[in-house]
Amino acid sequence: MIANLGSSGVLLAFVASIAGFAVAAWGIWTKRSSLLKTVPLYAAILVLGSVVATIAMQVALFTHDFSIIYIAEVDSKQTPLLYTITGMWSSLAGSILLWGLVLAGYIAVVAFRHRHQAEQGFYGWVLMVCYGVSAFFFGLMIGPANPFAVFNGPHPVNGVGPNPLLQDNILVAFHPPLLYLGYVGFTVPFAYAIAALATGNVAGKWQIEARKWAMFAWVCLGAGIMLGAWWSYLVLGWGGFWAWDPVENAALLPWLVGAAYIHSSMATERNGAYRVWTISLIISAFCLTILGTFLTRSGVVESVHAFSESDVGVYILILLGISVVTGISMLAWRGDALRSGRLTGGFRSREGMLLTQNVMFALLSGIILLGTLFPLLYQAFHGTEVTVGGPYFDTLGMPIAIVLLILMGVAPIMPWGVTGKSVLRRRLLVPAWVGVIVAAVCIVAGVHDVALIVVYALAGFVVASAGRQLYLQARAAKLHNKNWLRFLLDRETGGHIAHIGVVLIAVALASAVGFASRGSVTLSPRTTASFGGQRVEYLGEYKHSTPASHFEGALVLIDGHGPYKPGVSWFGSATEPVGTPALDSGPFRDVYITLESLPKHANGKLTLGVTVQPLVMWLWVGGTMAVIGILIALLDSKSRRRNLVPHMDNETDGHNVKVLADEGVVGEFVASR
């Protein structure tokens, strides 16, 4: 019954997608506005089908309907309720269902927003592309990734349960859905880009809409990546946050390209510059999400994030090929129209800085893409396995990351258009001195690693630059009697907050990696050892059992605080234990404890792994700030080309602001409305 209901929902969504695609295509071909007006209606049917299928899946999970193969693989009677719910995206078929649900939601919002413009060919193209992508994923659910397939004969009375790593932390309820919101969200700006190329409307208002959609997808993907790093840190037991895993890289790539697009679109939105670059980045971001889907769901890579080997890989590669060929072909077709925008200010302008920034994003993305795909390509051609590890990514990526930090401090203080050298010197003076002072303090404090000194100095430079701009915007708002809330919710304000958040992430990463102490201590009950400046005391063994799991570990005090409980856990019918680390986290340092060996007899000795890392908490604080800043920029209702007025500097005389028009400054006063 439940399986039939779920399959009916999937079939309904698939038919709605095919019908919406066909009607939109025929309406565009015949230029019949009456047909195009009906295209948004199919979104409602699509949502209905996807919601019915999702409800059926959740009912099957709640009722432990093990007649459905998927339920038997990801659920058990002992699984706690939270992990029963999240079982929907804990394996391949259910994750595709979540993908379809999210995509249906996006399409419904797009259709509703443009329901009165549907007769226009442009929005017909947008919905046609969206329906095409939707038809592909619901088609997978009818075929090789059917979440409602049932056993032909007798079915088990109990299921296997989720992967142990997927029932050990509450973040399983948030990390995957956020990633999906990000991955799937890039479908919408991709559809806008294809529509623009198809209709020749490359300079229309669609750019503002596409940018907002891309920013929403980008912030969701970024938040998902950050939660994934936190999850890895809390659960996997190695004390790190990023391992350059192929699936991690697959999520990072569209985020980097999305960052390049969002910055590039600022220049395109303003004066039409970089149209080829900007639209290419939209298409690339979408194609990289499809590539990431292939890496995650085809089984071609070994990863704690990847699903088991399946038959969907070849179909996803076909979609990737279609997307790449379509995008390149249409870019070539509209090449002349896309080349109308020009760089007017040279590299002493914000446009020039944005171009340099985007080149750096592209280089970094290329390095990561090569390192991710090279092992697969090598194995395909040579039949042997090779690995590309952290040293490759760190060595090639670090210089680019440093350049991006520099640009993050320089670009926001650069005005649009030509900049006088004296203006540039004045605006860079204070941030540059702050960077120099920070570097000097690091050297005096005994920091000898050149890379760390550079990162800290650039962090000071970027924070001073962002702080300067925020001060000027606040002062301008006060002088012009602007509402403080409007100042705080301004797109530029959000951008500066996001930059400060990224700086905190950079400082936290550099500090945690550069000053980490890793080792192990062997202790008997009621004995103490010191490591990395921390006192670790072993109190005794600790065991705990629930219907879903069994835990064996130790009670440990860290500097007299606790007790903390590092150990190992067994979940469901799994025979292999999962490490369960313990964490003492604070604003200045984290102490990370893992159980390396259990006592062989009562009151025997055990061995604990100890990792002491400074400033790790600021990695999560910085990530939160970055997300908040991007959300502020997204919520700015005036996110469009503003009226250009002379940029105001910090030279004031009483209540009068000195306008630097005589120095060739053509900037943007973001507090003006």
Q: Which helix (H) or strand (E) holds 450?
A: helix 450-479
pLDDT at 18 > cutoff 80: yes
Q: Quick check: bond before 246 cis, omega within 30?
A: no
User: Minimum mean pLDDT among 159-163, 191-195, 415-419, 443-447: which range?
Assistant: 415-419
pLDDT in tens, 76-92: 888 889 999 999 998 88
Enter the tokens of residue 440.
Answer: 């000097």
Find the radius of gyration of the CA atoms of the chain: 27
pLDDT in tens, 196-208: 999 888 877 888 8
Q: Three-class SS string for 511-579? A: HHHHCCEEEEEEECCCEEEEECCEEEEEEEEEEEECCCEEEEEEEEEECCEEEECCEEEEECCCCCCEE
Widest distance between CA atoms in the chain: 86
* Mean pLDDT, range 307-319, rounded to an integer: 78
25-32: long-range contacts at Cβ-Cβ below 8 A with a sequence spacing of 24 or more? 25/128, 27/124, 28/121, 28/124, 28/125, 28/128, 31/121
Enter the tokens of residue 50.
Answer: 């996807």
Q: What is the pTM of this model?
A: 0.88
What is the rounded distance in angstroms from the CA atom of residue 412 to the CA atom of residue 660? 17
User: pLDDT at position 482, please?
Assistant: 63
The size of the chain, in residues, is: 673
pLDDT in tens, 88-147: 998 889 999 999 999 999 999 999 988 888 777 889 999 999 999 999 999 999 988 899
Show me where the domains of the chain are located. 1-162, 420-488+642-673, 517-614
* Mean pLDDT, range 22-44, rounded to an integer: 91
pLDDT at 68 > cutoff 80: yes
What is the rounded distance in angstroms from the CA atom of residue 270 to the CA atom of residue 66? 57
What is the rounded distance in angstroms from the CA atom of residue 131 to the CA atom of residue 148? 22
Residues 6+ apart with CB under 8 A from 263: 354, 357, 358, 361
What is the rounded distance in angstroms from the CA atom of residue 371 to the CA atom of residue 367? 6
**Residue 484, SS3 per DSSP:** helix
Q: Residue type for 160, please?
A: V
pLDDT in tens, 575-585: 678 888 999 99
pLDDT at 636 > cutoff 70: no
